Amino acid sequence: MTGLEMAAAYAIKPNILKRCGPEHAHKILFDFVTGKRVFNEKRIRELLSQFQVAMPYYTLIARANSISDPFDNQVVEAYWIGNELLDQVTPEAVRQVIEQDVKREGWDKKQIAIMFQAIALKHAKPHHSLSVLYFFTRPGIKLDPTTFNTISEQADQCRVCVGIIQGRDHLEVSYLPLIFGSDRIIKIGSLVEKEIEWGLLSMINPNLTFGSVVSFHHNWGIQILSLEQVENLKKYTRMTLEAINP
């Protein structure tokens, strides 16, 4: 996938869920990624620029690496999957983007200050897992036995996961979930199996087979991953956990 296609692919399901981006944008993005319709690239860029969570990260990563296009393939991959471009972004720049994001969510100065006391910014990279997990560990959230299972499930669905296809009738994958402990420590759990939606997998991945390693987002299949991409996704997710765990 090109950077523009990847940005569109990972934006579709959050938009369906009304989590991000203009209303009904997913219809255009789906047709663009699957090739059902031909669009002017400028229109897709303008549409994706309205996704208020991802766009500042694309811009940040591109600027830190002297790349003019925020939808460059390596830039978009860095945010969603992870790659070496993330290592060029300073902790202070990451802090500025996080602060911009949470202010848009209505956080006040006290909440923001408490959050930054809890985040080890030296480990924080501008990776999608960070933009997910600081939200789910925000000040005031209660991780008690009645809520942390629900919260961990929501966070797990929101991040980008790696799955190994085990069955194609209902697209079962095996993967490593996030586990939220009552001590507020977030860990990678043991291997489990779950059913996910086909999403884009059968439409843009003709080589999909039993045992294929794929990414999924909000339980929606996205793409086949290379070994390097799998390792990068694991690496930068671990770095996020180092940054946000108390």
Condensed to tens digits (0 to 9), the pLDDT of residues 231-245 reads 999 999 999 999 988
Q: Which residue has better confidence, 169 or 63? A: 63
Q: DSSP alpha helices (H): ranges in the chain? A: 3-16, 25-34, 41-48, 54-64, 73-80, 91-104, 109-118, 128-136, 148-158, 201-204, 227-244
pLDDT of residue 153: 85
pLDDT of residue 146: 60
pLDDT of residue 158: 93
Condensed to tens digits (0 to 9), the pLDDT of residues 196-240 reads 999 999 888 877 888 899 999 999 999 999 999 999 999 999 999
With a cut of 80, say whether residue 122 has pLDDT above it: yes
